[in-house]
């Protein structure tokens, strides 16, 4: 087992999600349901993510991830599906 499931209180907290694939859309739905103040950073937004944004009112920033994006965030989630990019996001969050 490489991952550990965890429950966190995110209601009203700033959360950054980077990615737009199926995994990112699923995480966005869960974060919205939990009341997170969600920002999603994507180079190209998937249709499901755009539709979710229109209905749920979170922010999508259409651009590449920048390490400064993690500042002020309570939680940072890399869900790009590209291991090297997700590791870069994790390193930036850890620092």
Any domain includes 5: no
Any domain includes 73: yes
Domain of 82: which CATH number? 3.40.50.720
Any domain includes 37: yes
- Label residue 43 by pLDDT band (50, 70, 90): confident
Report pLDDT for 20. 85
Higher-pLDDT residue of 4, 65: 65
Report pLDDT for 1. 59
Report pLDDT for 92. 96
Any domain includes 10: no
Yes or no: say if 41 and 67 are a contact pair by the CB < 8 Å rule.
no
| Domain enclosing residue 70, as ranges | 18-94
How many domains in the chain? 1
Yes or no: say if 89 and 18 are a contact pair by the CB < 8 Å rule.
yes
Any domain includes 57: yes
Using one digit for the tens of pLDDT, what is the confidence trace for 56-91?
A: 778 899 999 999 999 999 999 999 989 999 999 999
Q: What is the model's pTM?
A: 0.89
Report pLDDT for 85. 92
Taken in order 11, 15, 19, 20, the sign of the CA dihedral is positive
What residues form DSSP beta bridges with 59?
39
Radius of gyration of the chain (CA): 12
What percent of the chain stands above pLDDT 70? 99
């Amino acid at each position: 087992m490489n991952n550990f499931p965890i429950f966190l209180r995110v209601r009203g907290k700033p959360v950054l999600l980077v990615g737009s694939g199926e995994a990112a859309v699923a995480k966005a739905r869960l974060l919205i349901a939990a009341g997170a103040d969600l920002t999603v950073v994507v180079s190209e937004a998937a249709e499901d993510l755009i539709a979710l944004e229109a209905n749920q009112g979170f922010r999508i920033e259409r651009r590449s991830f920048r390490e400064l994006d993690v500042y002020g965030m309570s939680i940072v989630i890399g869900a790009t599906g590209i291991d090297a990019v997700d590791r870069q996001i994790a390193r930036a969050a850890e620092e």
